[in-house]
Protein backbone atom coordinates (compact mmCIF):
# COMPACT_ATOMS: atom_id res chain seq x y z
CA UNK A 1 0.00 0.00 0.00
CA UNK A 2 1.40 3.36 -1.05
CA UNK A 3 1.96 5.95 1.68
CA UNK A 4 -0.78 8.27 0.45
CA UNK A 5 -3.28 5.41 0.56
CA UNK A 6 -2.26 4.72 4.17
CA UNK A 7 -2.75 8.39 5.05
CA UNK A 8 -6.11 8.47 3.30
CA UNK A 9 -7.39 5.95 5.86
CA UNK A 10 -5.84 7.80 8.80
CA UNK A 11 -8.84 9.96 9.76
CA UNK A 12 -11.44 7.18 9.71
CA UNK A 13 -12.15 5.85 13.22
CA UNK A 14 -10.86 2.29 13.69
CA UNK A 15 -9.78 1.98 10.05
CA UNK A 16 -6.33 1.14 11.38
CA UNK A 17 -4.52 -0.07 14.47
CA UNK A 18 -1.14 0.97 15.83
CA UNK A 19 0.72 -1.90 17.50
CA UNK A 20 3.58 -0.86 19.79
CA UNK A 21 5.84 -3.89 19.45
CA UNK A 22 8.33 -2.59 22.02
CA UNK A 23 9.44 0.63 23.65
CA UNK A 24 13.07 -0.44 23.48
CA UNK A 25 15.50 1.07 20.99
CA UNK A 26 19.30 0.91 20.61
CA UNK A 27 19.53 4.52 19.37
CA UNK A 28 19.85 7.63 21.53
CA UNK A 29 18.05 10.33 19.51
CA UNK A 30 17.71 13.67 21.31
CA UNK A 31 14.17 14.17 19.96
CA UNK A 32 12.77 10.71 20.78
CA UNK A 33 9.06 11.13 21.59
CA UNK A 34 8.95 7.86 23.55
CA UNK A 35 12.25 8.37 25.46
CA UNK A 36 13.22 4.87 24.36
CA UNK A 37 16.29 3.04 25.66
CA UNK A 38 17.35 -0.60 25.60
CA UNK A 39 16.03 -0.97 29.16
CA UNK A 40 12.57 0.44 28.40
CA UNK A 41 9.48 -1.67 29.05
CA UNK A 42 8.45 -4.39 26.62
CA UNK A 43 5.10 -6.17 26.58
CA UNK A 44 5.09 -9.95 26.37
CA UNK A 45 4.34 -11.23 22.88
CA UNK A 46 1.20 -13.19 23.76
CA UNK A 47 -1.23 -10.24 24.18
CA UNK A 48 -0.19 -8.92 20.76
CA UNK A 49 -0.61 -12.36 19.20
CA UNK A 50 -3.99 -12.72 20.86
CA UNK A 51 -5.28 -9.42 19.56
CA UNK A 52 -4.20 -10.05 15.97
CA UNK A 53 -5.66 -13.56 16.16
CA UNK A 54 -9.05 -11.97 16.88
CA UNK A 55 -9.15 -10.39 13.40
CA UNK A 56 -11.71 -11.84 10.99
CA UNK A 57 -12.00 -11.21 7.27
CA UNK A 58 -15.22 -9.28 7.87
CA UNK A 59 -14.05 -7.48 11.02
CA UNK A 60 -10.45 -6.36 11.11
CA UNK A 61 -8.53 -3.11 10.75
CA UNK A 62 -7.75 -2.15 7.17
CA UNK A 63 -4.20 -1.25 8.25
CA UNK A 64 -1.98 -2.58 11.03
CA UNK A 65 0.95 -0.26 11.71
CA UNK A 66 3.83 -1.82 13.66
CA UNK A 67 5.82 0.71 15.61
CA UNK A 68 7.85 1.26 18.78
CA UNK A 69 10.46 2.06 20.05
CA UNK A 70 12.20 0.01 17.42
CA UNK A 71 9.95 -2.85 16.27
CA UNK A 72 12.77 -4.60 14.43
CA UNK A 73 14.38 -5.46 17.76
CA UNK A 74 11.71 -8.20 17.76
CA UNK A 75 11.90 -9.26 14.10
CA UNK A 76 10.39 -12.72 14.53
CA UNK A 77 7.40 -11.23 16.34
CA UNK A 78 7.02 -8.63 13.57
CA UNK A 79 6.97 -11.40 10.98
CA UNK A 80 4.45 -13.39 12.98
CA UNK A 81 2.10 -10.45 13.57
CA UNK A 82 2.34 -9.17 10.00
CA UNK A 83 1.68 -12.61 8.54
CA UNK A 84 -1.34 -13.20 10.77
CA UNK A 85 -2.77 -9.74 10.07
CA UNK A 86 -2.34 -10.16 6.31
CA UNK A 87 -4.07 -13.55 6.46
CA UNK A 88 -7.16 -11.78 7.82
CA UNK A 89 -7.01 -9.19 5.03
CA UNK A 90 -5.26 -6.28 6.79
CA UNK A 91 -2.57 -4.28 5.06
CA UNK A 92 0.57 -3.97 7.16
CA UNK A 93 3.19 -1.26 7.60
CA UNK A 94 6.24 -0.76 9.78
CA UNK A 95 8.19 2.31 10.94
CA UNK A 96 11.87 1.72 11.78
CA UNK A 97 14.91 3.75 12.75
CA UNK A 98 16.97 1.25 10.69
CA UNK A 99 19.52 0.66 13.46
CA UNK A 100 20.93 -2.39 11.64
CA UNK A 101 22.12 -0.71 8.42
CA UNK A 102 25.76 -0.47 7.41
CA UNK A 103 26.42 -4.11 8.21
CA UNK A 104 25.08 -7.48 7.12
CA UNK A 105 21.34 -7.38 7.69
CA UNK A 106 20.40 -10.15 10.18
CA UNK A 107 18.33 -12.86 8.52
CA UNK A 108 15.41 -12.42 10.93
CA UNK A 109 15.36 -8.66 10.23
CA UNK A 110 15.41 -9.25 6.47
CA UNK A 111 12.50 -11.66 6.82
CA UNK A 112 10.56 -9.13 8.91
CA UNK A 113 11.14 -6.40 6.32
CA UNK A 114 9.71 -8.67 3.65
CA UNK A 115 6.74 -9.75 5.77
CA UNK A 116 5.14 -6.29 5.92
CA UNK A 117 3.43 -4.56 3.04
CA UNK A 118 5.05 -1.17 3.59
CA UNK A 119 8.39 -0.19 5.15
CA UNK A 120 8.91 3.37 6.36
CA UNK A 121 12.31 4.58 7.56
CA UNK A 122 12.86 7.47 9.96
CA UNK A 123 15.52 9.89 8.74
CA UNK A 124 16.57 13.05 10.57
CA UNK A 125 19.70 14.74 11.84
CA UNK A 126 19.37 12.93 15.19
CA UNK A 127 19.26 9.46 13.65
CA UNK A 128 22.19 10.34 11.43
CA UNK A 129 24.50 10.60 14.44
CA UNK A 130 24.24 6.79 14.63
CA UNK A 131 22.62 5.59 11.40
CA UNK A 132 24.15 6.69 8.06
CA UNK A 133 21.58 8.13 5.69
CA UNK A 134 23.22 6.53 2.66
CA UNK A 135 22.98 3.07 4.23
CA UNK A 136 19.27 3.56 4.98
CA UNK A 137 18.66 4.59 1.38
CA UNK A 138 20.53 1.51 0.17
CA UNK A 139 18.07 -0.73 2.04
CA UNK A 140 15.06 1.21 0.78
CA UNK A 141 16.38 1.14 -2.79
CA UNK A 142 16.76 -2.63 -2.63
CA UNK A 143 13.21 -3.06 -1.31
CA UNK A 144 11.78 -0.64 -3.87
CA UNK A 145 13.68 -2.47 -6.61
CA UNK A 146 11.83 -5.62 -5.59
CA UNK A 147 8.54 -3.78 -6.09
CA UNK A 148 7.82 -3.26 -2.40
CA UNK A 149 6.17 -0.13 -0.99
CA UNK A 150 8.60 2.06 0.95
CA UNK A 151 8.60 5.59 2.32
CA UNK A 152 10.69 7.98 4.39
CA UNK A 153 9.48 9.74 7.52
CA UNK A 154 11.69 12.84 7.40
CA UNK A 155 11.85 15.20 10.37
CA UNK A 156 13.26 18.71 10.55
CA UNK A 157 13.32 21.51 13.10
CA UNK A 158 11.52 24.11 10.97
CA UNK A 159 9.83 24.35 7.61
CA UNK A 160 12.93 26.05 6.18
CA UNK A 161 15.48 23.81 7.89
CA UNK A 162 18.40 23.43 5.40
CA UNK A 163 18.68 19.81 6.54
CA UNK A 164 15.28 19.06 4.99
CA UNK A 165 16.26 20.44 1.58
CA UNK A 166 19.51 18.46 1.57
CA UNK A 167 17.88 15.21 2.66
CA UNK A 168 14.96 15.52 0.23
CA UNK A 169 17.34 16.07 -2.67
CA UNK A 170 19.41 13.00 -1.82
CA UNK A 171 16.39 10.77 -1.18
CA UNK A 172 14.77 11.71 -4.49
CA UNK A 173 18.00 11.21 -6.44
CA UNK A 174 19.04 7.95 -4.76
CA UNK A 175 15.59 6.34 -5.07
CA UNK A 176 14.79 7.85 -8.46
CA UNK A 177 11.56 9.43 -7.13
CA UNK A 178 10.15 6.00 -6.29
CA UNK A 179 9.90 6.72 -2.56
CA UNK A 180 7.26 9.04 -1.05
CA UNK A 181 8.45 11.36 1.73
CA UNK A 182 6.41 12.39 4.74
CA UNK A 183 7.88 15.60 6.17
CA UNK A 184 7.22 16.47 9.81
CA UNK A 185 8.65 18.83 12.39
CA UNK A 186 10.12 17.95 15.78
CA UNK A 187 7.45 18.27 18.46
CA UNK A 188 8.06 19.22 22.12
CA UNK A 189 7.30 15.76 23.50
CA UNK A 190 9.53 13.09 24.98
CA UNK A 191 13.21 14.07 24.98
CA UNK A 192 12.52 17.02 22.67
CA UNK A 193 10.30 18.50 25.39
CA UNK A 194 13.49 19.16 27.36
CA UNK A 195 14.95 21.55 24.78
CA UNK A 196 12.26 22.56 22.26
CA UNK A 197 9.97 25.48 23.12
CA UNK A 198 6.30 24.46 23.31
CA UNK A 199 3.19 26.42 22.39
CA UNK A 200 1.02 26.20 25.49
CA UNK A 201 -2.14 26.24 23.41
CA UNK A 202 -3.80 28.98 25.48
CA UNK A 203 -6.67 31.03 24.09
CA UNK A 204 -10.40 30.74 23.67
CA UNK A 205 -11.81 27.20 23.84
CA UNK A 206 -13.04 27.06 20.26
CA UNK A 207 -14.45 23.95 18.64
CA UNK A 208 -11.40 22.31 17.03
CA UNK A 209 -12.06 18.68 16.05
CA UNK A 210 -9.43 16.19 17.16
CA UNK A 211 -7.43 14.41 14.45
CA UNK A 212 -5.68 11.98 16.76
CA UNK A 213 -8.63 10.08 18.26
CA UNK A 214 -9.09 7.85 15.23
CA UNK A 215 -6.93 4.72 15.14
CA UNK A 216 -6.63 2.73 18.38
CA UNK A 217 -3.11 2.33 19.74
CA UNK A 218 -1.80 -0.67 21.67
CA UNK A 219 0.40 1.09 24.20
CA UNK A 220 3.60 -0.28 25.69
CA UNK A 221 1.80 -2.01 28.58
CA UNK A 222 -0.89 -3.53 26.34
CA UNK A 223 -3.58 -0.93 27.12
CA UNK A 224 -5.56 -0.04 24.01
CA UNK A 225 -5.82 3.74 23.76
CA UNK A 226 -8.25 5.66 21.57
CA UNK A 227 -5.68 8.30 20.70
CA UNK A 228 -2.11 8.38 19.39
CA UNK A 229 -1.07 11.44 21.41
CA UNK A 230 2.11 10.56 23.30
CA UNK A 231 0.50 11.95 26.47
CA UNK A 232 -2.26 9.36 26.20
CA UNK A 233 -0.01 6.49 25.14
CA UNK A 234 2.38 7.11 28.05
CA UNK A 235 -0.58 7.12 30.44
CA UNK A 236 -2.09 6.86 32.87
CA UNK A 237 -4.91 6.57 30.34
CA UNK A 238 -8.10 8.45 31.27
CA UNK A 239 -11.28 6.42 31.22
CA UNK A 240 -12.75 8.08 28.12
CA UNK A 241 -9.65 7.16 26.08
CA UNK A 242 -9.35 3.57 27.33
CA UNK A 243 -10.65 0.97 24.86
CA UNK A 244 -9.45 -2.18 26.60
CA UNK A 245 -6.34 -4.33 26.81
CA UNK A 246 -4.65 -6.44 24.13
CA UNK A 247 -4.49 -9.42 26.47
CA UNK A 248 -8.22 -9.36 27.20
CA UNK A 249 -10.17 -7.69 24.41
CA UNK A 250 -10.48 -8.74 20.79
CA UNK A 251 -10.64 -6.43 17.80
CA UNK A 252 -14.48 -6.49 17.43
CA UNK A 253 -14.94 -5.12 20.96
CA UNK A 254 -12.19 -2.52 20.51
CA UNK A 255 -13.66 -1.36 17.20
CA UNK A 256 -17.18 -1.05 18.67
CA UNK A 257 -15.89 1.05 21.57
CA UNK A 258 -13.79 3.27 19.29
CA UNK A 259 -16.66 3.91 16.91
CA UNK A 260 -19.54 3.95 19.38
CA UNK A 261 -18.27 6.11 22.25
CA UNK A 262 -20.21 9.37 22.63
CA UNK A 263 -17.19 10.98 24.30
CA UNK A 264 -14.89 10.07 21.43
CA UNK A 265 -17.48 11.19 18.89
CA UNK A 266 -17.70 14.55 20.67
CA UNK A 267 -13.91 14.90 20.81
CA UNK A 268 -13.70 14.20 17.07
CA UNK A 269 -16.48 16.72 16.41
CA UNK A 270 -15.77 19.59 18.83
CA UNK A 271 -12.41 18.90 20.47
CA UNK A 272 -11.63 18.62 24.19
CA UNK A 273 -11.33 22.31 25.09
CA UNK A 274 -14.81 23.09 23.76
CA UNK A 275 -16.20 20.13 25.70
CA UNK A 276 -14.48 21.29 28.88
CA UNK A 277 -15.97 24.76 28.51
CA UNK A 278 -19.49 23.57 27.72
CA UNK A 279 -19.91 20.36 29.71
CA UNK A 280 -18.26 21.17 33.00
CA UNK A 281 -14.80 19.76 32.39
CA UNK A 282 -11.49 21.38 33.30
CA UNK A 283 -9.63 23.42 30.68
CA UNK A 284 -5.92 22.87 31.31
CA UNK A 285 -4.79 25.36 28.66
CA UNK A 286 -3.24 22.85 26.27
CA UNK A 287 -5.34 20.88 23.80
CA UNK A 288 -4.20 17.36 24.68
CA UNK A 289 -3.67 18.27 28.34
CA UNK A 290 -7.33 19.28 28.59
CA UNK A 291 -8.43 16.03 26.95
CA UNK A 292 -6.43 14.00 29.45
CA UNK A 293 -8.36 15.61 32.32
CA UNK A 294 -11.89 15.39 30.89
CA UNK A 295 -12.71 12.29 32.93
CA UNK A 296 -11.69 14.00 36.18
CA UNK A 297 -14.97 15.88 36.58
CA UNK A 298 -17.91 13.76 37.83
CA UNK A 299 -20.73 13.39 35.34
CA UNK A 300 -18.90 14.79 32.29
CA UNK A 301 -19.35 11.58 30.28
CA UNK A 302 -23.07 11.51 31.01
CA UNK A 303 -23.53 15.16 30.06
CA UNK A 304 -21.63 14.67 26.82
CA UNK A 305 -23.65 11.57 25.98
CA UNK A 306 -26.91 13.49 26.52
CA UNK A 307 -25.63 16.34 24.35
CA UNK A 308 -24.57 14.04 21.52
CA UNK A 309 -27.95 12.25 21.60
CA UNK A 310 -29.82 15.43 20.68
CA UNK A 311 -31.18 15.46 17.11
CA UNK A 312 -29.51 18.79 16.33
CA UNK A 313 -26.09 17.19 16.95
CA UNK A 314 -26.39 15.16 13.75
CA UNK A 315 -25.51 18.21 11.64
CA UNK A 316 -22.14 19.09 13.28
CA UNK A 317 -21.24 15.40 13.48
CA UNK A 318 -21.84 14.97 9.73
CA UNK A 319 -19.95 18.18 9.03
CA UNK A 320 -16.97 17.02 11.09
CA UNK A 321 -16.98 13.66 9.28
CA UNK A 322 -16.94 15.39 5.89
CA UNK A 323 -14.18 17.73 7.09
CA UNK A 324 -11.82 14.95 8.19
CA UNK A 325 -8.35 15.66 6.83
CA UNK A 326 -7.48 14.18 3.47
CA UNK A 327 -4.20 12.35 3.01
CA UNK A 328 -2.24 15.48 2.06
CA UNK A 329 -3.57 17.47 5.01
CA UNK A 330 -1.90 15.16 7.55
CA UNK A 331 1.45 16.56 6.59
CA UNK A 332 0.60 20.05 7.86
CA UNK A 333 3.29 21.65 5.64
CA UNK A 334 1.79 22.46 2.22
CA UNK A 335 5.13 23.06 0.55
CA UNK A 336 6.00 19.36 1.00
CA UNK A 337 2.64 17.81 0.02
CA UNK A 338 3.81 16.86 -3.46
CA UNK A 339 6.42 14.52 -1.95
CA UNK A 340 3.66 12.21 -0.73
CA UNK A 341 2.87 11.29 -4.35
CA UNK A 342 6.37 10.09 -5.26
CA UNK A 343 6.41 6.51 -6.45
CA UNK A 344 2.66 6.29 -6.88
CA UNK A 345 1.56 4.48 -10.00
CA UNK A 346 -0.40 6.66 -12.43
CA UNK A 347 -3.80 5.08 -13.26
CA UNK A 348 -4.00 3.82 -16.83
Amino acid 322: pLDDT: 79
For residue range 285-306, list pLDDT tens digits in order: 788 999 999 988 888 889 889 9
C-alpha 97/C-alpha 27 separation (Å) is: 8
Amino acid 196: pLDDT: 76
Burial (0-12, 13-18, 19+ Cβ within 10 Å), 124: buried
> Percent of the chain having pLDDT more than 90?
75
On whether the CB atoms of residues 293 and 281 are closer than 8 A, the answer is yes
Weakest-pLDDT range from 59-63, 66-70, 155-159, 196-200: 196-200
Own/partner pairs, 228-234, CB within 8 angstroms, 24+ separation: 228/18, 229/288, 229/291, 230/33, 230/34, 230/189, 230/190, 231/189, 231/288, 231/289, 231/292, 232/288, 232/291, 232/292, 233/20, 233/34, 234/34
Weakest-pLDDT range from 72-76, 99-103, 135-139, 279-283: 279-283
Q: How confident is the model at residue 203 (pLDDT cuts 50, 70, 90)?
A: low
pLDDT higher than threshold 60 for residue 347: no
For residue range 33-55, list pLDDT tens digits in order: 999 999 999 999 999 999 999 99
pLDDT higher than threshold 80 for residue 345: no
Please give the biggest Cα pair distance in the chain.
62
Mean pLDDT along residues 78-91: 98
Mean pLDDT along residues 229-240: 94
CA neighbours within 13 Å on the CB side: how many for 244? 18
Kindly report the CATH number that applies to the domain delimited by 3-198+325-341: 3.20.20.70
> Percent of the chain having pLDDT more than 70?
94
pLDDT higher than threshold 60 for residue 80: yes
By residue count, the chain amounts to 348
C-alpha 171/C-alpha 154 separation (Å) is: 10
C-alpha 184/C-alpha 234 separation (Å) is: 21
pLDDT higher than threshold 90 for residue 314: no
Return residue ranges of the chain for CATH 3.20.20.70.
3-198+325-341
- Looking at every residue in the chain, the average pLDDT score rounds to 91
Q: How confident is the model at residue 327 (pLDDT cuts 50, 70, 90)?
A: low
Burial (0-12, 13-18, 19+ Cβ within 10 Å), 239: exposed
Q: How confident is the model at residue 204 (pLDDT cuts 50, 70, 90)?
A: low
Amino acid 330: pLDDT: 66
End-to-end CA, the chain: 18
C-alpha 202/C-alpha 102 separation (Å) is: 45
Mean pLDDT along residues 190-210: 72
Amino acid sequence: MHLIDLLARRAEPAAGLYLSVTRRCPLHCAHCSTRSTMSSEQLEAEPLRRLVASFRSGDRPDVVYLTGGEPLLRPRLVTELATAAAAAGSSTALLSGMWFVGRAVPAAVAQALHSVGHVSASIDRFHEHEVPRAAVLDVLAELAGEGRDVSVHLTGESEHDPYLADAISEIRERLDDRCPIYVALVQPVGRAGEWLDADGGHGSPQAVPCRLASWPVVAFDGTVVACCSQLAVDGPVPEHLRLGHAGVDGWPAIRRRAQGSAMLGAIRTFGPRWLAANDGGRDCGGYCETCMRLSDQPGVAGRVEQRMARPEMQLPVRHAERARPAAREWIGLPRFEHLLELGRAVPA
